[in-house]
Each structure stands twice: as C-alpha cells, then as structure tokens.
Chain A
Amino acid sequence: MSPTTPAPIFDVDGLLRSPDTRIIVCCGSGGVGKTTTAAAMALRAAEMGRRVVVLTIDPARRLAQSMGLNHLDNTPRAVPDIAGDGSLDAMMLDMKRTFDELVETHSDPERAAQVLENPFYQALSSSFAGTQEYMAMEKLGQLQRESEAEDLWDLIVVDTPPSRSALDFLDAPQRLGSFLDGKFIRILTGPAKGAGRGLGRVVGAGLGLAAGAVKKVLGTELLVDVSTFVQALDSIFGGFRQRADETYRILQQPGTAFVVVAAPEPDAVREATYFVDRLTEEHMPLAGLVLNRMTLPPGHGLSAEEALVAADRLEKSGEHLETAAMLRLHADSMRSSARQNHVADRFTAAHPEVAQGVVPALADDVHDMEGLREVGDLLAEDLPRTG
C-alpha cells in the first residue's frame, strides 16, 4: 500500500529561519528522541542568528551537558559557544517550582503559605501525572508573556512531557482545569461554599448518593483538604480553566508550529497519526513530521537478497569472511529500511498533506554541541527515505 505520491518535504530551515515562527512545540510519544530534536532545532535556529529559548521537560543529564550546562533548572541559562549573532537559552521545567511560583505570584504571602502547606496541594503539585503537562503549558505561557514584555526571544522551542500519549499534552491541562472549576468540586465543597449550594440541595438523589459514596471511599480528611485547597485557590486566580484556556489559545496562533516526532515503529507512528488528526481538528498549525532514527538505504542498489547470496557464497568458500559479514550487515539494514518505510508509508497514506523530514539513525549517542549540530544538519538535509 505504498502511496503513489511521496509526502511533501519538511522545510526545517525555512521554519526555523522565518521571523513569523515564534513558538515550536515538539510532540510525540515517549522514547522517540523529542528532547534531542527540540534541542537540535533550537541550536540551529540560534546559529541562524535568532534569539532562542528551549524549554525541555526531562532531559537526560547527557543532553544538558552536551549544551555545556552542568545542570538545567527552572530559569533560562545562556548556552555558551553559539556560533554567529544569535543566542540560545536553555531551561528545564521544574513542575513543583512552577506551580509554587504561580501560587506565590497571585496571592498575599499568608494565603500562599496556606496553599503551599495543604497536603492535597503538595500531592497535586508533585505527583499528579497531568500536572507536568499543565505546568509545561503554564511555563510556555509565562515565557511568551515575558518575551513579549521585555523583547527577550524571537523563538521559543518547547519539548513536551514523556507521556504515553502525545495527546496528554493537549488534554491534561484542561482536564485539571475543568476539574478544579467543575461541578464535582462544588458538590464536595458545597456546604462550605455558602447558602443554597449545599450537597443534596442542588443535586438530585442519584448525585447525592454518588457524592456520598465518594466521601465514604476517600475519607473525609482528604475531602477537607481538597475543599480548603480549592477555596484558597479560587480567590487567588479566577478560575483554573480560564487560565488553561488562555494558554491553549497560544497554541492555535499562527506563529506557533507543531513538530511531531516519531520513530519509524508501528506504535510511535500510530501515536503520531492520532496526534496529527487531533491537531487538524483543533486548527492547530502543524509544520511537519520528523521520522527519527531511520535506517537509510546506502543507495548503491545492491538488494538484501543479492547481498545474502553473495555472503553465502563467500562463507561456503571459507574466504573473505570479513566481506561476507559486511554483506550480511548490509542485508540487515536494507531489510530494516524496507520495514521502516512501510511503517512510514502508512502515515503518508493517512496524511498525504503532512510534510515529512528524516533523521537517520546515528551510530553513537549525542554527547556535545557537535552532536547536536549534526542532528540539526541531518534534519535540514533533504534525505530520501527510500532507495
């Protein structure tokens, strides 16, 4: 089912260079090389002369070191040795710190302390799976506002949390936001929220029973924590959902570009397909798909079968065994390449309009700025994925 028309080529340099590109969001399922791709694109844009900040979520220590920074934290730090007039700042999201700051900025010290000490807040800010996504979004919003107010950066590159599904980045913030603003909270916190809003008054018998069950299961203690937390927070910043919605809108702006990263494996490509469907639905601007770590055919036309026949012949003769070994390696990579192309073709069939870029598998891991530059070069190069 190979598509007849190849997908358009992803013009990475065009995207990075354009002054209209203000935000790049790198998405994809876990383990596909999102963080490295984000860092490589940010570095490349910086060396084109733009002022860039890259927000990584959970970089390997090696990646931070490869940018010449011993450690990354919640504040943008200048990456040394950028070629040209541009600049690159790098940071790593600290979700608890970001959440704490959010509370501190929007309330008086007494109220802030009250929230920060609340056990439910502590659990929520450090362990809830969606908090990372929510705070990544929040940080992106902050960076954008700061950048606009003080003219700090031309381009913000964001990596997304390593969740099982790339969609979580879009969904978790709203889920958390709508919960905190939602009906359930009102019911749980009802009796304390003033006249007429109490449990059992506004809700029907079924709901009352359900809410009762929840109280029974969770225990009153937790509910009291939740309730005080929500009340304290409510007065701090008018509505979580509204805030999540605002940041969400940044993602729909024309200056934003999504880059979906996938490894040429069925799972990762399936995730990428879902994600692209969703971006289209939400009118979010998609720049292209990066197929990372592809095995590329060497392009001299010796097929896997021919190589194996020749290797067999040499092995039977007992001579030139080193050449036989290389021929077997060649056959392996031709086969991997064919399989990976087949997987990638499925994506093309589903989304023929989406531009594709290819980064070939590197023999070694990325260790330094040179390694990152190499990834950037490969990203920008117009490599054919079929022979």
Chain B
Amino acid sequence: MASDLWPGVRLHIVTGKGGTGKTTVASALALALATGGNRVLLMEVEGRQGIAQLFDVPPLPYDETRVAVAPDRGEVIAQAVDAEAAVLEYLRMFYNIKRGGTALKKIGAIDFATTIAPGLRDVLMTGKTGESVRRRENGQPVWDAVVMDAPPTGRITRFLNVNSEVGSLTRVGPIKNQADSVMRVIRSPETMVHLVTLLEEMPVQETVDGITELRESELPVGSIFINMQQPEELSDDQLSRDVPVSAAQLSSGLEAAGLPAAEPLVQALEEEGVGHAVRVRLQRRERERLESLGVPIVGLPLLDGVDLGGLYELAETIVAQAPR
C-alpha cells in the first residue's frame, strides 16, 4: 500500500545545507510515510550514523534494520549504505566475483572505487537506492517508500546527476549502464528531491540556488521543509516597533505576576523582546523568499532537543501538512 502523502512518489531524496537538520527531517519523513501501515526504508549514504543516534539504536549495519514502528502497524527500516560494502556487493551481483575482495582492498582498488574515481561512489550509492526502490517480492514492491538522507544541497545535483558525471568518463560498459538505469528512476515521477532549510539568510539562499540547479538539470523538486521554526510570540503591531515590549509594560506586568520587577530582569526581558522581533522579521522575510519559488512548504517547529518522542511529533506535523 502506498502512502497518501505525496501521492505516487516512492523515492524521497532529502537534502539541505549542513546544520539544518537534514537527518532529523529525513527520519521524521520516514515515520510520517510509514503512518497507516506502510513499510519505509530510510537510507543513510554519508556514513555519519546520525540515524542510529536519532532513533537511539546501535550503529546501523549494512543490512536493513528495523528502527521504529509507526502508528497503525507501519515500520521504518534503516540502512547505512557503506561504499565499500556496496562495491563488493556490486561485484558479487553483477560479475559473480566472490573472492578477490581482500585482494582488491590490498591494491587500493576499493579505495579507488569508493573515494577517488570521480562519480563512481555516487553511482554506487544512488545505484543501491534505485535497486531498493525497484525491488519486488511476490509481484509487490518490497518498500512502500524509500527515504534517502542525501548529501548536502551544495553537492546534490552532482550526486544525482551521476549519468552526465560518469558519462563523460565512460561512454560504454557496465558502469555506464548502471548510471543510466539509476537516472531512469531518479527522473521518473516516482522520485522527489526535498530541501531542508532554516529561516536564515544563508540556508535560504542555498535552497534557492539548489532548486535552480535541480530544475536546470531536470531533477524533480519536491517540497521545502522549514526546520526549527521559532514560535512567534509578538503581534504585528509589537513587531513594527523598535522595542516591542517596553520596560514600563514589563515592570507592571512582572508586579502583577508577583515577581520582583528588578532593573536587570526588566532590562533583560526587554532585550529578549528586541532580539525576538529581529528574528521574527528575518523569519518572515526569508519565508516570503521561499514562498515565491512555487514549491510546497512544510513547516516544522523548533523542538527542545530532538529525541525519539520529538521525531514522532515532527512526523505528525508532516502528516498534517504534506501534499495529498
């Protein structure tokens, strides 16, 4: 059964500038997609083990491991795709090479394939993802959805555009065929690239640039996830002032609340108000820039530290706002 969020999409690629909470959003998205009884595969391709830490489980092996259950018997299975294991698996699957792994490592061939050969690592990573999306058992897809915690925005287009990258190096041969089949999955309507951002200038600029690049390469742009939105505690009228809540207001307010209206406290609260107004104005300005892009937006609140409970909370928020 497919999820009714982002109908028709089975591969969700989640990117974002470093520090925006890409892994958190990818994990919450996987939980959201699993809601209602779906089986969702959550893939980590950058070897950070961030998913394991979020779900509070031991470091993920290369094998698929269940990390969470979702409402109504859904489940999230996670996998850390390690480039070296992917090469060996690839050789086994396509060339029936079972021995030789150690020898390959010894001469540095694995190193070459996973870290040095331009684009090859990306072919392996995206290839593994493509294979998961296509995998079927008893005529049914094994996964209702696949979520990839992808490389950051600055690298995403190059990462996904493995075809042109590798194409310039090898015009024929197995790697080229592999790249072609990956591109077919990525360019299909079943795939979407989501971008995670904060409402700050630099991440928003990177999101704008990222979307432009993705569109130029004809890669499918999904939704923008605004992460860690600060709650707005002030009215429009208060926001328009330099000092949203004055010392006089605060003094009488504190007295009414039974707190000593000491000078340092009043002053600190006044400053907090000024800082908050600056941040809220910045948030609104950046949000407008994002809205002008014509991409659906999902807003996620700032949590006081993200734990498993927080992930479920974010998943609910996603379910409530996702395009259907």
0/1 interface trace, chain B 44-87, chain A, CB 8 Å (1 if under): 00111010010000000000000000000000000000000000
Evaluate contact between A320 and B257: CB separation under 8 angstroms.
yes
Q: List 14 A-B contacts (CB under 8 A).
A: A31-B19, A60-B206, A124-B118, A129-B115, A175-B111, A218-B170, A314-B256, A322-B244, A325-B233, A326-B269, A326-B270, A336-B304, A363-B275, A363-B279
Measured between beta carbons, the chain A residues less than 8 angstroms from B269 are 323, 326-327, 330
Nearest-neighbour CB distance to chain A for B242, whole angstroms, equals: 13
Alpha-carbon separation in the docked complex, A182 to B104 (Å): 13
Given A127-B165, A363-B278, verify A210-B268 contact (CB < 8 Å).
no
Measured between beta carbons, the chain A residues less than 8 angstroms from B258 are 310, 313
Nearest-neighbour CB distance to chain A for B164, whole angstroms, equals: 11
* Interface status of B264 (Cβ within 8 A of chain A): yes
Nearest-neighbour CB distance to chain A for B233, whole angstroms, equals: 4
* Interface status of B116 (Cβ within 8 A of chain A): yes
Write the residues of chain B forming the contact surface with A, with a CB cutoff of 8 angstroms.
Answer: 17-20, 23, 46-48, 50, 53, 90-91, 95, 97, 99-100, 102-104, 106-109, 111-113, 115-121, 151-152, 154-155, 158, 165, 168-176, 200-203, 205-206, 231, 233-234, 238, 244-245, 249-250, 252-254, 256-259, 262, 264-265, 268-276, 278-279, 282, 304-305
New contact pairs (10) apart from A127-B118, A213-B95, A326-B245, CB-CB < 8 Å? A30-B19, A119-B168, A123-B118, A204-B103, A209-B99, A210-B100, A216-B95, A222-B170, A314-B257, A365-B282
Evaluate contact between B154 and A162: CB separation under 8 angstroms.
yes
* Interface status of A20 (Cβ within 8 A of chain B): no
Chain A contact residues, majority secondary structure: helix
Nearest-neighbour CB distance to chain A for B112, whole angstroms, equals: 6
Given A62-B202, A323-B257, A325-B234, verify A225-B100 contact (CB < 8 Å).
no
Measured between beta carbons, the chain B residues less than 8 angstroms from A61 are 205
Query: Which of A206, A323, A339 has the most CB atoms of chain B within a 10 A radius of its CB?
Result: A323
Q: Which residue of A lies closest to B273 (CB)?
A: A326
Q: Which residue of A lies closest to B176 (CB)?
A: A219
- What is the total number of residues of chain A having a CB less than 8 Å from a CB of chain B? 80
Q: Which residue of B lies closest to A271 (CB)?
A: B48
Alpha-carbon separation in the docked complex, A249 to B280 (Å): 47
Query: Which of B108, B200, B238 has the most CB atoms of chain A within a 10 A radius of its CB?
Result: B108
Measured between beta carbons, the chain B residues less than 8 angstroms from A299 are 264, 268
Query: Which of B244, B257, B259, B264 has the most CB atoms of chain A within a 10 A radius of its CB?
Result: B257
Evaluate contact between A210 and B165: CB separation under 8 angstroms.
no
**B18 contact from A120, A162, A319, A365, Cβ within 8 A:** A162
Measured between beta carbons, the chain B residues less than 8 angstroms from A320 are 249, 252-253, 256-257
